[in-house]
Structure 1
């Protein structure tokens, strides 16, 4: 910094005198010395202030918030999906704000506002004297408060001299550039009032359910009174404090001539009347998707020198506004239906009671319990108080037993995401059940097992015996998949029927032949690329948790002939004037599954809706288009899934609860065919009626185009003609020529008049029994009596990592003499 010549000259005269005083320190005690000391201190402060000026914010436009334009997220048909705002605020001009608001503000916070130039020296000195006397006082003017509110990062809030100087400098800048009315308007439109309400307009709506121009004297005094401490004087949680503070504001208004004594005496006796209504931001059609995209868009804006919240960016997506609205409505309708089931299942007089072990556990996990224990209450006493509190138990039940759902749809031809619904209501539950939630997919994972088998050379017409299966896992453990309470038919069944009827016994045998690692690799290649998959036999029945987005993308690979297309949402970004800033192209397709195997898998999945567990798509929703899909239900009906494929649309839904220990407690409603399928069926039916997709469009089988594929198919058929097709457990390992097999009779097709077999909940309930009594294997070596641990249905526990729906993990260990059996549920 360069100082003026006159200042340098004075310093040259001053320095010798200071040097003489330094050599004779006793002269500082004289009046002349004290005068020089004060002059030196003043100079130091002046220089310090000059040094701080470059570190204070540049005042270009204090009303920038008024002109801020949040980025808009638009659908392909131009509908608003969401807006990206800094805060929940609506700017209103000063002349439309009720006059009592301005009078209360000036009378209470800065009664000499129109007389000073940003700093009130008398008030600052008075506040300093009172603070030194032990009564801490604030001396900031309205302009200083505005500077602190507008630039919290540059100025800060620490109680230091540096912060106060920077605040004063910024206030002087503001007063130099703007009028008093502009300062007042900006202050009233930017000050926070709790509950995500910024500015006087949103505060008026939040606390009094009216606009700022309709506020009365009492209401104005209440809101202005909050500014001293919004949390401490919160009229919702602390009404007595808020009323006392309101009366203080009224007294200041009387003192400054804004109220007569008679008016004050009448108003001060009135009660505090609040009409509280939280003002949520406009969510738009796809709020969950908007939140998932927020971080990516912020990163893009930072890289390119834009602000997502103020520069008016327009982000165009591939979301179909009509389909998104249809999906929102379908999720809400089915959510209400399932909520009625859940409310009946968890009624206070039945399952939800203070004596329930699960309820007791949930109480001990609640924030209220942790707060009571942290305050010194004994754990048992805290739990007892909460269990005796009917209001608390009611609110806990409403929170824990609220049914949730997620839905996603995409175009399999290019990966375009067409609809995204993260929950029943974003305002109640903003958690995204499409991309953020990971749940066990159950039987919706089975197509990966069948796809791996078809890629290996097996055909949908190949047959396996529907019989009891026991698969050693090593470490004296056995995996025994079942089909719920339905016993095996002990008859051969074609693979396509095993998939259509969701047979666990068939799928487990197929997994043996293909291998878990191959299935996991295929699932990752087809789209399950973010979740960890455990390559264990139980993976065949969907034991590894995945997201709905991953599953829908993987089914899109099936519908697209085995070519994976990464899901795409954004197509281009424009500025507020419509100028293109960047365009985004679809990702290149990746071959994940051979064309022939993908088509065989897709054709086999047609049977799910034609005669299997998803037949309601035809019978209930009347969908005659060419579709294929799969249902899924996990242990104890915890998660319900359904995904449906059409040449132009793949859509999937999940239904359940945020807490996996809570279920619908119904063998009927808990199935994916009855919880998730109606959402997808409803969307598809309306999409066909609205001609969003073409009912005449069909999947078309293509021929392998490469000479390698042709040669491979020819060689495979020659081997089959020579040795026969691989069936049963005699099929060789991956890559080995199939061994000769006897022809097995085909499984009889279900009678046309017989109702379709619904997918049963894949669980098993059995008492503790010796292993020898459970289907002993032939020629098994003699073993001492051992015991099987079966699930205990009364007390659900968190899922074991390698457990599966309808699976019993059997630790085979000798039972100690006199020891009690260990009952542990597995999923």
Structure 2
């Protein structure tokens, strides 16, 4: 071996003693020999990834049989194929299915000497190097062959870098050489037309449209063979920077870039002057068509999962859309179907009620605009013109962000022309909660119609495993893309109260602690002005009697919740919210007792799950396992949880939530009608916001915690009656869902008890009253705690609330109805 190596290097300059003695001609030959020897050794080292210095490189076999993108598939926990993540649109085209204008545009723009070189254009490469020392800009001389290599083999991915890839300039040089070598290999194995086909099937045209077939359908609603010159130029031009030259979002940039491509086609005689003049005058003429895979099982779930998978793939140098991964989700297709069915059926029922509330008007917008104009006329009887009303502005906003309006504007239509076209009635497939229908309606009226359609979100999670079992982001992914589970933030109303009560329990309260339900006034500052705020119960009435926290939460009594919050302070509730995984901003004021701070359904549902999981907060799990195309396990999920509540406190919260079902007057008593409450520990909390804008229901059982939200996407559009209450709008969805879940024994979700901590001592209820702020003393030294209700305080009263109050700041109403009961504490 040593002898062989010595012979190889004997004529090189490394044999320096002999090199000095050689003639000038032999020295030149020796230098040339040394150059090719080093080049050969470098290529060998590159091919074998010597000492892991260079990273992986496509082998001869891979270059001969390049694998185009293989779809990654996602499966439900019960083995159903939910959908696929893919690059090519399932139908890669053949060369004869591509228009000649597209081929010409590609070659004229990207690689004018394509048919002359062997995969690497060394002549153009030399020109590019020379141009770097002059003002001439010839581009990077990257051939179509090289771009095919870059797109299919990911020569610039993490696995391809190697140790030397950490050095910026060296990394670029190594990547380029790999692309050159592989391009030469592919040129040997493939005909030129085959390379062009590979390229046009592989590249990204923007908007997640990979391949010429998908791009043609998405931007022009055409097959690739039917593209005209200006259309081909637009698509090829966009390849330079798909975001910057997107014809839908950046039409001006796209138009300029398209004309550059047309200029290249003219320059290299792919078209004549007449064809160029005709093409350059044309507008973009795009006709967008959605090519997104919407017919998935649980499409909102899959879309929410996608960025998480993309991030994981990026970190592991994998391509979600090309590497044929098998992803096993936590979602159960049967539970999902029950959830979707419950949402569909109940929304169809209550949509009729919402529509009837419009009276003689067909659409909410028409009614609101008419009322606002009438109000303006009433206030300004002499005014000749009525300015644009708030609802008109809102409608204009809805119109201007609609797909049809944006499409018309992209086609160079003026605003007036677009609105005129949108005013014409035409046959349109329209969304209905109980099944889509084809109706004769204008685009403007369809926008009004869609705006007043009720939306819903539902998420169901196993509190013990943290696995998401059902996920409904809206009534129809085809028509409504906005996800009301993980995207929308809405006011939760009284469904936020359990967070307040959990804080109170941690500070020494228990479910039996009693507080007087009565009106009171709080001095506050609203918009810079000192005002009195008198919180009201939703019923408008008061019992004027001590009420246990369990009873108060069961009946959703506002006065008690606010009095508790006064004592424990909003900041402690904000801290508890954060501990329970709520990342939305919770305001530092007493109104949070009424659920005025926006939260997401996902985070509130997961917070409730901690109550059923002995106080442990878990990170929701949406997928359990990822396998490679060959079946190798690449990832398995781990349960990540943290003890955020004392188990006894968490169990007491389940006891309090059960109160809404078990207590007389509880807001969840209706669950008995679904057959899911008998013989079962089940609890929940309704939530309703001002003017019935949002209806919530949070349901909790031993092995499923489910959150439901119902309302319109725009909060201006809402019920004006009690039909918008959480108990009517959202609770039935939970009831219908759980009824079907319990009926399917294969799901192994059964009725039963919550986990009781071994150290838990069953409560013996006593009557502890929160001291009124107008008491002489606010603590243990006072025996007359509440001069109004004349109730004695017990020693077990939470110490955190004991403070001296010499100067009362919160006046308490002393009026009470003549028949009000005044409870007297007797020990």
| TM-score category (smaller protein) | 0.5 to 0.7
Cα distance in 1 for partners of 2:128, 2:746 equals 69
Equivalent of 1:725 in 767, 775, 779:
767
Q: Quick check: 1:440 aligned with 2:482?
A: no
> Which aligned pairs between 1:231-630 and structure 2 lie closer than 5 A?
276-282=288-294, 284-294=296-306, 296-297=308-309, 300-301=312-313, 306-331=318-343, 338=351, 344-347=363-366, 349-350=369-370, 355-357=388-390, 359-360=392-393, 404-426=455-477, 430-451=481-502, 464-472=515-523, 478-484=532-538, 486-490=540-544, 493=547, 495-513=549-567, 515-516=569-570, 519-520=573-574, 523=577, 527-534=580-587, 536-560=589-613, 564-587=617-640, 590=643, 591-594=646-649, 597-607=652-662, 611-619=665-673, 623-625=676-678, 626=680, 627-630=682-685
Structure 1 SS opposite 2:289:
coil
- Aligned-residue offset at 1:179: 1.5
* Further displaced range: 499-508 or 511-520: 511-520
- Aligned-residue offset at 1:409: 0.3
Cα distance in 1 for partners of 2:636, 2:174 equals 47
* Further displaced range: 430-439 or 727-736: 727-736
Q: Which residue of 2 aligns with 1:376?
A: none
Cα distance in 1 for partners of 2:569, 2:127 equals 82
Q: What does the per-residue CA deviation read over 1:60-119, in whole Å, with 9 as the maximum and x for residues that have no partner? A: 55698844435433221122345444x454462636735857875688677875454246
Confirm or deny: 8 A CA contact 2:120 2:184 kept in the other structure: no
Change in Cα spacing, 1:663 to 1:139, as seen in structure 2 (3 Å) is: same
Q: Which residue of 2 aligns with 1:174?
A: 183
Confirm or deny: 8 A CA contact 1:595 1:704 kept in the other structure: no
Cα distance in 2 for partners of 1:298, 1:595 equals 36
- Aligned-residue offset at 1:227: 1.8
Please give the TM-score of this superposition, normalised by the length of structure 2.
0.63
Q: What does the per-residue CA deviation read over 1:600-629, in whole Å, with 9 as the maximum and x for residues that have no partner? A: 313312147x7443455445x565553321
Q: Which residue of 2 aligns with 1:227?
A: 236
Cα distance in 2 for partners of 1:408, 1:188 equals 41
Please give the TM-score of this superposition, normalised by the length of structure 1.
0.63
Q: What does the per-residue CA deviation read over 1:702-736, in whole Å, with 9 as the maximum and x for residues that have no partner? A: 77633xx55xx7xx96xx8xxx6213546999996
Cα distance in 2 for partners of 1:302, 1:100 equals 36
Cα distance in 1 for partners of 2:484, 2:68 equals 35
Change in Cα spacing, 1:249 to 1:329, as seen in structure 2 (3 Å) is: farther
Cα distance in 2 for partners of 1:544, 1:225 equals 47
Cα distance in 2 for partners of 1:241, 1:456 equals 66
Confirm or deny: 8 A CA contact 1:360 1:387 kept in the other structure: no
Confirm or deny: 8 A CA contact 1:640 1:655 kept in the other structure: yes
- Aligned-residue offset at 1:447: 2.5
- Aligned-residue offset at 1:226: 3.6
Change in Cα spacing, 1:104 to 1:451, as seen in structure 2 (3 Å) is: closer
Q: What does the per-residue CA deviation read over 1:196-235, in whole Å, with 9 as the maximum and x for residues that have no partner? A: 32212213433565665xx35x669843674245798969
Change in Cα spacing, 1:459 to 1:311, as seen in structure 2 (3 Å) is: same
Confirm or deny: 8 A CA contact 2:517 2:546 kept in the other structure: yes
Cα distance in 2 for partners of 1:58, 1:448 equals 56
Q: What does the per-residue CA deviation read over 1:582-614, in whole Å, with 9 as the maximum and x for residues that have no partner? A: 433434674444366235313312147x74434
Change in Cα spacing, 1:64 to 1:405, as seen in structure 2 (3 Å) is: farther
- Aligned-residue offset at 1:505: 1.6
Q: Which residue of 1 aligns with 2:718?
A: 664
Cα distance in 2 for partners of 1:14, 1:283 equals 76
Q: What does the per-residue CA deviation read over 1:495-552, in whole Å, with 9 as the maximum and x for residues that have no partner? A: 4443233221232234345554555555555x34434545643332223333322322
* Further displaced range: 164-173 or 582-591: 164-173
- Aligned-residue offset at 1:701: 7.2
Cα distance in 1 for partners of 2:467, 2:778 equals 35
- Aligned-residue offset at 1:642: 0.9
Structure 2 SS opposite 1:481:
coil
- Aligned-residue offset at 1:445: 1.6
Q: Quick check: 1:680 aligned with 2:734?
A: yes
Cα distance in 2 for partners of 1:573, 1:133 equals 51
Q: What does the per-residue CA deviation read over 1:110-137, in whole Å, with 9 as the maximum and x for residues that have no partner? A: 787545424679999999999x999999
Change in Cα spacing, 1:594 to 1:489, as seen in structure 2 (3 Å) is: closer
Cα distance in 1 for partners of 2:220, 2:572 equals 63
Q: Which residue of 1 aligns with 2:807?
A: none
Cα distance in 2 for partners of 1:179, 1:600 equals 71
Confirm or deny: 8 A CA contact 2:474 2:480 kept in the other structure: yes
Cα distance in 2 for partners of 1:197, 1:447 equals 46
Cα distance in 2 for partners of 1:579, 1:737 equals 70
> Which aligned pairs between 1:190-201 and structure 2 lie closer than 5 A?
190-201=202-213
Change in Cα spacing, 1:3 to 1:734, as seen in structure 2 (3 Å) is: farther
Cα distance in 1 for partners of 2:601, 2:190 equals 55
Cα distance in 2 for partners of 1:56, 1:563 equals 44
- Aligned-residue offset at 1:351: 6.1
- Aligned-residue offset at 1:578: 2.7
Change in Cα spacing, 1:208 to 1:384, as seen in structure 2 (3 Å) is: closer
Q: Quick check: 1:633 aligned with 2:688?
A: yes
Q: Runs of 5+ in structure 2 lacking a partner? A: 1-7, 26-31, 47-53, 161-170, 374-386, 402-413, 424-442, 790-809, 816-827
Confirm or deny: 8 A CA contact 1:643 1:650 kept in the other structure: yes
Q: Which residue of 2 aligns with 1:642?
A: 697
Cα distance in 2 for partners of 1:520, 1:272 equals 52
Change in Cα spacing, 1:471 to 1:224, as seen in structure 2 (3 Å) is: closer
Structure 2 SS opposite 1:539:
helix
Q: Quick check: 1:117 aligned with 2:105?
A: no
Change in Cα spacing, 1:681 to 1:209, as seen in structure 2 (3 Å) is: farther
Confirm or deny: 8 A CA contact 1:235 1:241 kept in the other structure: no
Confirm or deny: 8 A CA contact 1:88 1:198 kept in the other structure: yes
* Further displaced range: 163-172 or 62-71: 163-172
Cα distance in 2 for partners of 1:271, 1:366 equals 23
Confirm or deny: 8 A CA contact 2:610 2:650 kept in the other structure: no
Q: What does the per-residue CA deviation read over 1:132-178, in whole Å, with 9 as the maximum and x for residues that have no partner? A: 999999988644664676779799xxxxxx99999799467514434
Confirm or deny: 8 A CA contact 1:345 1:665 kept in the other structure: no
Confirm or deny: 8 A CA contact 1:562 1:595 kept in the other structure: yes
Count of residue pairs the alignment pairs up = 685
